[in-house]
Structure 1
Amino acid sequence: MEGRTARPAVPGAPTPLVGRRDALGALHDALGAIGRDGFRFLALAGEPGAGKTRLLGELATMAADLGRVTMWGRAAEFEQMMPFSPLVDALDDHLETRRADITDILGPTTARLLATVFPSLTSHHTGHHAEPARSGAPEESGEPGPDRGGLARYRLYRAVRQMVDTLSAPRGLVLILDDVHWADESSLEFLDHVTRHPPAGPVLLAVAFRPAQAPPRLATLPLGAGARGHEITVGPLAPEEADELLGPRFSKGRGRALYEASGGNPFYLEALARMDGDAPEAMGALPPTVLAALQVELGELSPGALLVAQGAAVAADEFDPAIAAVAAEVPRASALDALDELAQRDIVRAHGGRFRFRHPLVRRAVYESAAAGWRVAAHGRIAARLAALGAPAVAQAGHLERSGSFGDQRAVEVLVDAARAVAAHAPATSAHWLQAAVRLMPDAPATRDSRMELLLELSRAQGVSGRLAEGRDTARELLRMLPGDDYPRRGRAARLCALMERQLDRPHEARALLLDELGRMPNPRAAAAVPLRMRLVAESLMRVDFDAAQAVLDLMPDAAEDWEPGLAVAVAALRPMSAYAAGRTDEAVRYAESAGRLMAAAPDDHLAEWLDAISWLCWAEMNLGRYGEALRHFDRAAAVAAATGQSYILTHLLAGKARTLVMAGRLADALATAEESEGEARLLDSGQQLVFALTQRCLAASWSGDDDAAILAGEEAVQRGVGGGEVWGAMARHARGQALINAGRLEEGAEAVLDACDRFSAPRLDRGTLLLCCETLARAAAELGRQDQSAAWADRAATLEDPGLPAFRGLIPLARAHALRANAPARAAAAAREAAGLLAVAERRLDAGRALLVAGLAHLEAGERARAREDLKAAAAAFDACGARNLKARTDRELRRLGVRVASAPAGKADTPFGLSPRELEVAMLVADGLTNQQVAQRLFLSVRTVETHLSRIFAKLDVSSRVGVATALSRSG
């Protein structure tokens, strides 16, 4: 909110604030919370001129009084495409003084990544391009990073989060971002990322925005921050507050008329107060945007001052006098004189060596007061000046898109260069500038080839930035432009379009497009048809139509002289999965080995075009239990996907890698990889890819012992409602069922696993996962006391045995051990030890540990305490190495009952009484305090069913049978 009319309101200004007591209290509470609890997110939402900036100024003053470092930046209406503009505005000057510290603390690799956004962190940064840099334009380093996909953005967001964490030491950091409704998409993606993955230090991130102009991602940030987030609604002033703001120079009647005309909006109220008090007719004609009041204010300026103001409005949100002079076509000395007048009338305010308009609405009014044609020319003058100074393409692009003329080849080249320069960290901006270049490029014979290549690049950029529908539409536009006999380019465009249709959860459209393009080709075996046929194979594999996939593969040779480089590798990569799905395991292994040799011999640039096919080799190797080969190929393919900006492939690869890591028992790595996959999928906004990622995060979190996070991920994966009838939908249902069983919800989990297997009538899951389902169902039935059902599932597991899949063979005796434990513990122990040996040889450490746990428990039930101790110690070591916290805690409990001293958890790991998880301890303490299950659920934001599940596990771990027993056990432990 602005201060009194006669005095300027700037952040931290001494002008007293009128009203806003609730908002000030929330600001004070948030500042206090970061000292106690770490990160907090604060959103101020209100209409233009409501006083958000004034409140942020109060926050800055409070923070300074507490010794917190405060950094302030804002987005600008006419620079909305500049990547990370509010963050650069807030942080860059400070980073210039901390460049060496940032490099020392975060390391040179992270510093180089940050330098792609923050000019002050690059050694190539120079001062004479300061004006564009302040608008958020990164300098061109001459060393473009290799990543152009979503993973690069995700890593950049993590790097910025690390940097913010570093800057918060030791007293805390208050990062203020104003007008974020105008922020570019990369800035909004970062805000979304940091609210879901907050820094560890004392950081308060405060943003202000206009709700009516806020995109959905921004509007939901406070909800995404959960308990760490708070939204303040900044509404109109009350009549008495307006009287206080206006002061005694207005009569009560005049003040009430001003209040009613302004609607209680502080900025509008001040704008009216600046007008001639004897002009009530102007008030009556005032539009809601108060442009009439601002026009009166601008009308009082001298012609020279108004001209310079208009040039400044064209230049930037924060402008250099020299640039404003260029835009206005006046000498610099005249511009400085005009700025004196503008500052005296509070149109602009000094900001270091630059100037800013007192409010974005003022800049907009000034900008719109200039004739449209004059504005185009002014943008052109600024672009020419920046080019003469050698400014990077990114700094010129915003002005050229507004001033470039149709057919201006130089403007096209600069826009394309700028688009490529920001593709890694701001693909939405990249696509925007490519689109501007396409608009300026004539569709003439001389430029048609270049235009079509540019459309293909645009389609890719739109896909990477998450605008899958726009990318699909651009690819279809390209198909309409291409001659019917230009089979190679039509094939590339159709394949890209089909990929995007798939990500948009439109598999039928993808398949129809592929078949249509293939039908146009006179020679279905031609080289141009092979990429389309490969995509058709992939579509069939996703639909679990393995006969159709094999039929297409049978028509494809292994290689041909006219094939593009890497195409032979791609065809070879598709063959293992089809053979594996058909049960031809030995043949699948041979195909995988052959494809692996071809892939090893191929350079990265030969693989880049065919990663969607190569991903099938990686998944096939994982399904075959070839975990080392699968991880090696996942890593290489993911690196190539990241380097070439193929986000829609990258998520799939990362999800597959996470699943492989879970099977290998590397749970911490699996969680980190699944988190990367999920972050990338959310950026891409593809339901399919998000389900892939959530499925793997569900499994990794479940086996790690985080039941709540696992179930939440599994629920979201299933509730997305995509993937019906395809293998990945069944995978999501299986992961959810596994998480429910691991969390102790046996009946519900068993039903979910059966549903995922289609009750074994026509299962879509692969054979290895079906074996795991049988073992899981045998375990659940045994724990429910249903020995006959457990034995039936063990028998079914035996029917799935495949000599060509040694990695899964150990699950069969493990399922048998579950069924035997109740009535034949000695035989169960023998079966479990056999399973442990087979699973250890297969490098399935987690499952080998589970088998050792079953063996130890069976030995204990058979009275063989020494052998029980041996197996349980081995199981505990396996679970500790894997990071399986719940299983380790359960094993430790059994060891303690046998009299074995168990070391406490190392520093940094949760070590709670009786092996309770942190969430179980929270529930137990609330139960001990006398709260009902309903009350506990409300306090912890859980469902009553989840609380009941936690309580059953607490009873088991504490070896009690009542709520009173819980209270007694906790009091003894304390």
Structure 2
Amino acid sequence: MNPLVGREEVLRSFDRVVAAACAGEFQFLAVVGEPGIGKTRLLAELVRRTGQRGLTTLNGRAAELEQIMPFSALVDAVDDHLEAHGAEVLERFGGAQRRRLATIFPALAAAVPDAGDPDEHADRTGIDRLRSYRALRQLVDELAAPNGLALILDDVHWADPSSAEFLDHLVRHPPRGRVLVAVAYRPMQAPHRVLGLVGAAGGRQVTVDPLTPEEGAELLGPEVARARGRALYEASGGNPFYLEALARMNRLAGTELPASVRAVLRVELGDLPPGSLRLAQAAAVAGDEFDPALVAVAAEVPETATLNALDDLVARDILRPASSGRFRFRHPLVRQAAYEYAEAGWRVGAHARLADHLAKVGAPATVQAHHVERSCSFADRRAISTLVTAAKTVATRAPETCAHWLRKALELMPDEPETLDERLTLLMDLSRSQGVSGQLAESRNTARELLRLLPAGQYARRARAARICALMERQLDRPHEARALLLDELNRMPSPRAAAAIPLRMRLVAESLMRVDYRAAQAVLDLMPDSDDGWEPGLETAVAALRPMPAYAGGRMADAQRTADAAERLVDATPDDHLAEWLDAVAWLCWAETCLGRYSAALRYFERAIAVARTTGQAYVLTNLLAGKARTLVALGRLPQALETVEESVDCARLLNSAQQLVFALTQLCLTQAWTGDHEAALRAGQEAVRAAAGSQEVWDHMARNAHGVAMVAAGQLDDGIRVLVDSCASFDDPRVDRATLLATCELLAQVEAGRGRQVEAARWAALAAEVESPKLPVFAGLVDLARAHALAEDPVAAAALAERAAENLLAGQRGVDHGRALLVAGIANGAAGRAATAREQLQQATEQFRDCGARTLEAQTLQERRRLGDRVSTPPSADRDTPFGLSPRELEVATLVVQGLSNRTIAGQLFLSVRTVETHLSRVFTKLGVGSRAAVAAKLAGRA
């Protein structure tokens, strides 16, 4: 049985009803909801709970194909029990009642030989049915003795008339014993007698609502990427059956329905009258939401007959009314099942009829294209034109759809000399659309095919194709192929300064930056003008966006800031549709802003670029941008937002299957988790990042190793952490990481060595930090002062002064966590200098800063320092006061299993939760206990005991 996700309020209702039944009060419960919403799973949970309370629990279900069988649902629930206990039950009934029961339950027929004989004196007025119902009610009473009875019936919307009548009789004449009757049904398909049961019984109705987005994510589990999980949730509407079905479809070819889903829905569709079924199939051809007139055209049925059939489909909850006289299917999977149910040839004809109709009434090409592609023939010029027009219409907002229609148009186009130029244009557009929609290998292959076909003299077209191809090679972790392709195309050009050469040279700049060859990047940029009359829209902005990073990396901070200012002005003036073509260049500006400590500007441009990437579907750029935004948020001390952002980056990178993008994302995840205090997770992310980088010696490899070193130090693995940090910076002889990372590494190493009492080593790192710092970047001056404060720990007065100055600079520079760290160092130093009041004030400020940032370990460390100074402090207040330390019952469960040494995955299995949910609970445990590790959780709880 799958773990139950959410449904806490429903389960509380179950507990109240079961408790009342056990106390001797007859209970009637209706569990109501649409198909697939989880009623059956909830009834299984009810069965478990009634069994735990000692009630005799009998459960069955009605079946759509057995509605002509009297009492079918009741027989399904009770007959097996009577097979085992029928003899003793029959002893308590008279002869007439035995015969009546034996005609209902096959298990009793053998024990009552004359049960099937016709009674020529039987009452034909309906009184005999009433006597049968009385016999059944007495049977319920007998089955309830002595422990009580839970009679649980599923799919009662398909109950036969006799079962429905008996239930109505039972709730109006309740049994005497401890009895719970629970039924589940779909309200849109249930007969009126079933719908009236709750009111007649004075019972309780529980409506099962769709899952929340958080519950949907828990149901899918951590193996489903967050971005895909959101898309699946939106498509499913929160219906768990459809959500799981859609998730499984990702592992099937095309968009074919899973067999189990197809079987369930085809049974429902197969029961429709032929006319209604044909209209349902025509509606499936017409669209997700459709006008009845279109259905009439597709089905070749008069409009009056169409409306009558639609009424029938609405009554059966196949269709539902939409706005403005239109209709839609209950769920997209129902539509797909209806579509697949139709004959393939009929579907082609229906699409053709709709395509002709829409063309005649002048519908937009995007509306026609769906039907055209499913009914057109080879060399159909009108179809090709419609598909191309539709593709161009959606190119910027839906590149994947654009690529799909372009591929179809190319398939229809004859391979002839007369069509070569048109095919070349379509191939160019196709390659770009494939690339921005994340179809990396397909985009690369299309671009290579385009280069093969393009004449040597068409430099501009070849350059554009080569740029796209090189960009895809880079994302596919083939940087050498990308560079070779760019150089080959540049060598073909008669002039290296031609406008056509600029996009190729821009890619060379990016390749050099990735290889940490900043001199080469600057040399290429020096050959490029700022603008030219023949440039494409947005190209001037793209070139400007590349200039700050090489200047920053080369230590020319004035140039870096000046070119960043110029790039900002151009980006602000460039519309999104022009920016979209050059997002890979704009990303370098965003990262440069962060490296320069211009965090507000960095965040603004990251967010704009992310919005454009989302709108245009550029997944490979989105991953990089999300990682950069997370890095900026970490610097600002907004750790919860950083964690949410970087988790999406990791999800996107895994979907892309690009090692480079995954390393970018995991590096920032590692750093974020290290600062939040989730050390085990940080170490895992760092290790995976280093493995994925595989010693590439590119910038992302060095950054991954540096982040892993930070995580090791944060987790207390000091010797190994120092070694990894120094190695990631090439022993500071020829470092390959950026200056901001170098400076932060020096400060961290000074802190570690000072903490181990090695002041000489700490002073060496502080001196190196001063060498790294640029006088043009005052935002980093605070880190230099902080490093010096670590080195002067033996002189608390001097250390306090440096730390206080560091705190001021870091606050002005918006570095939230580092500001708190400087306050912590100042508070410790002032405490050591005998300035207790000042120390308490600074440590109080540090506590609030860390709490605001979400830095749990640092907050716990600060609280410990405050206790040493005599402050009476505790963990943050919590609304949950029934358990130790304000833990909720579930958090206490998780913490207890952590103390037992169980892993998160094992805990998830025992508690029927997802691993991600366990991680969330454990994060809250850390915060409430004021600790930062699993071992500390055990120590804290053991100390209380």
* TM-score (norm: length of structure 1): 0.63
CA distance in 2, matches of 1:909, 1:731: 41
2-side partners of 1:213 and 1:959: how far apart? Answer: 39
1:438 aligns with 2:405: no
Q: Which amino acid aligns with 1:808?
A: F
For 1:176 and 1:570, locate their aligned partners in 2 and report how far apart those are by CA, in whole Å.
41
> In structure 2, what is the equivalent of residue 501 of structure 1?
473
SS at match of 1:410: helix
User: Closer, same or farther in 2 for the Cα pair 1:596/1:444, shift >3 Å?
Assistant: same
The code of the aligned residue for 2:520 comes to A
The verdict on how the C-alpha distance between 1:268 and 1:841 changes in structure 2, with shifts beyond 3 A counting, is closer
Deviations 1:737-773 (A, max 9, x none): 3233334443443343234223334321012201111
Q: Quote the Cα distance in structure 1 between the aligned partners of 2:593 and 2:265.
A: 66
Instruction: Single out whichever of 612-621 and 918-927 deviates more from structure 2.
Output: 918-927
Among 802, 807, 812, the alignment partner of 1:836 is: 807
Aligned partner of 1:855 among 814, 822, 826: 826
Which structure is higher in RCO with an 8 Å CA cutoff and minimum separation 6? 1
Deviation at 1:814, TM superposition (A): 1.8
Mapped contact 1:313–1:367 kept (Cα < 8 A): no
Q: What is the one-letter code of the residue matched to 1:414?
A: T
Task: Report the AA paired with residue 825 of structure 2.
Answer: V
Stretch moving more, 567-576 or 329-338: 329-338
Residue 769 of structure 2 is matched in structure 1 by 797
Tell me if 1:545 matches 2:521.
Answer: no
Select 2:228's aligned residue among 181, 185, 192: 192
Change over 3 Å in CA distance of 1:560–1:58 after alignment to 2: closer
2:675: which partner in 1?
703
Equivalent residues of 1:808, 1:839 under 8 A apart: yes
Q: Give yes or no for contact 1:175–1:205 (8 Å, CA) kept in 2.
A: no
User: Aligned equivalents of 2:246 and 2:784: distance in 1?
Assistant: 60
Structure 1 position 783 matched with structure 2 position 755: yes
Shift of the 938–429 alpha-carbon distance from structure 1 to 2, 3 Å rule, reads same
1:869 Cα deviation from its structure 2 partner:
1.3
Partner residue, 1:367: 343
Corresponding residue of 2:158: none
Asked whether the 8 Å contact 1:463–1:684 carries over to 2, the reply is no
1:498 is displaced (CA, Å) by 1.4
Give matches, 1:890-909, under 5 Å: 890-900=861-871, 905=876
Return closer, same or farther for 1:890/1:422 CA change in 2, 3 Å cut-off. farther
Mean Cα displacement is larger for which, 700-709 or 542-551? 700-709
In the alignment, structure 2 segments of 5+ residues that lack a partner are 14-33, 47-204, 214-223, 322-326, 910-914, 916-920
- RMSD across aligned C-alpha pairs, in angstroms? 5.6
Cα 1:66–1:964 shift into 2, 3 Å:
closer
Q: Does the CA contact (< 8 Å) of 2:857 and 2:932 recur in 1?
A: no
Q: Contact (CA 8 Å) 1:960, 1:966: kept in 2 or not?
A: no
Q: Is the 8 A contact 2:281 2:338 kept in 1?
A: no
Report the Cα offset of residue 305 of structure 1.
12
Cα distance in 1, alignment partners of residues 609 and 334 from structure 2: 51
Tell whether 2:944 aligns with 1:970: yes
Partner SS state of residue 402, structure 1: coil
In 1, the alpha carbon distance for the partners of 2:283 and 2:872 equals 74
Distance between the aligned counterparts of 1:401 and 1:489, measured in 2? 28
Partner of 2:860: 889
Q: Does residue 730 in structure 1 map to residue 706 in structure 2? A: no
| Range with bigger deviation, 484-493 or 201-210 | 201-210
Amino acid across the alignment from 1:877: E
| Match among 821, 835, 839 for residue 864 of structure 1 | 835
TM-superposed CA distance for 1:689, in Å, is 2.5
Deviates more, 1:502-511 or 1:641-650: 641-650
C-alpha displacement of 1:624: 2.0
1:215 alignment partner AA: R
- Residues 582-731 of structure 1: pairs in structure 2 closer than 5 A: 582-604=554-576, 606-721=578-693, 724-731=696-703
Give how far 1:435 is off: 1.2
Which string of whole-angstrom CA distances, capped at 9 and with x for unpartnered residues, describes residues 75-105 of structure 1? xxxxxxxxxxxxxxxxxxxxxxxxxxxxxxx
Q: Is the 8 Å Cα contact of residues 678 and 693 (structure 1) preserved in structure 2? A: yes
Structure 2 equivalent of residue 575 of structure 1: 547
CA separation of 1:319/1:597 partners in 2, compared to 1, >3 Å: closer, same or farther? closer
Partner of 1:163: none
Contact kept in structure 2, 1:876 and 1:891, CA below 8 Å: yes
Deviations 1:98-131 (A, max 9, x none): xxxxxxxxxxxxxxxxxxxxxxxxxxxxxxxxxx
User: Shift in Å at residue 811 of structure 1?
Assistant: 1.9
Q: Per-residue deviation at 1:610? A: 3.0
* Cross-structure match for 2:494: 522
Go from structure 1 to structure 2 and tell me whether the alpha carbon gap of 1:843 and 1:376 turns closer, same or farther (over 3 Å shift).
Answer: closer
Inter-partner Cα distance in structure 1 for 2:442 and 2:792: 58
Deviation per CA, 1:906-941, whole angstroms, max 9, x where unpaired? Answer: 7799999789999997776457xxx55468995479
| C-alpha contact (below 8 Å) 1:313/1:366 kept by paired residues | no
1:865 partner letter: A
Contact kept? 1:625, 1:806, Cα under 8 Å:
no
Encode CA deviations 1:157-194: one digit per residue, 9 max, x unaligned: xxxxxxxxxxxx995524799xxxxxxxxxx9888324
Which deviates more from structure 2 when the two are superposed, residues 683-692 or residues 760-769? 683-692
1:174–1:205 Cα contact (<8 Å) kept? no
Does structure 1 conserve the Cα–Cα contact (< 8 Å) formed by 2:780 and 2:810?
A: yes
**Structure 1 residues 673, 218: closer, same or farther in 2, change over 3 A?**
farther
In the other structure, the counterpart of 1:874 is 845
Q: 1:470-524 deviations in whole A, cap 9, x for unaligned?
A: 1111222222232222222222221122111111111111111111111110111
Q: Quick one: structure 1 residues 916 and 453, their matched pair in 2 at CA, closer, same or farther if it must change by over 3 Å?
A: farther
**More deviation in 638-647 or 900-909?**
900-909
Partner of 1:820: 792
Aligned equivalent of 1:453: 425
What amino acid does structure 2 have at the position aligned with 1:512? A
Structural mapping, 1:915-926, within 5 Å: 925-926=896-897
- Pair 1:824–1:559, CA change in 2 (3 A): same
Point out where structure 1 has 5 or more consecutive residues left out of the alignment. 1-22, 39-54, 68-168, 178-187, 220-231, 236-264, 272-293
Q: Distance in 2 between matches of 1:902 and 1:618?
A: 41
Is residue 251 of structure 2 the alignment partner of residue 215 of structure 1?
yes
Distance between the aligned counterparts of 2:542 and 2:749, measured in 1?
38
Does the C-alpha gap of structure 1 residues 391 and 836 become closer, same or farther in structure 2, counting only changes over 3 Å?
A: same
Residue type of the partner of 2:740?
A: G
Residues 933 and 948 in structure 1, CA contact (< 8 A), matched pair in contact too: no
CA distance in 1, matches of 2:754, 2:401: 57
CA distance 1:495–1:416, shift in 2 (3 Å): same
CA deviation vs aligned residue, 1:662-698 (integer Å, no higher than 9, x gap): 2233334433443454454455443322332332233
Letter in 1 for 2:251: P
The DSSP-based 3-state class of the residue aligned with 2:721 is helix
CA gap 1:777/1:467 in 2 versus in 1, 3 angstroms: same
Structure 1 distance, partners of 2:400, 2:811, is 47
- Give the Å deviation of 1:402: 2.6
1:535, 1:959 → 2: CA distance? 44
Q: Sequence identity, in percent? A: 52
Contact 1:924 1:954 in 2 (8 A): no
Shift of 1:197: 9.6
Q: Check if 1:478 corresponds to 2:450.
A: yes
Distance change (3 Å), C-alpha of 1:923 and 1:532: same
The Cα shift of 1:958 comes to 12
Structure-2 separation of matches of 1:771 and 1:610: 31
Write the letter of the residue equivalent to 1:649. V
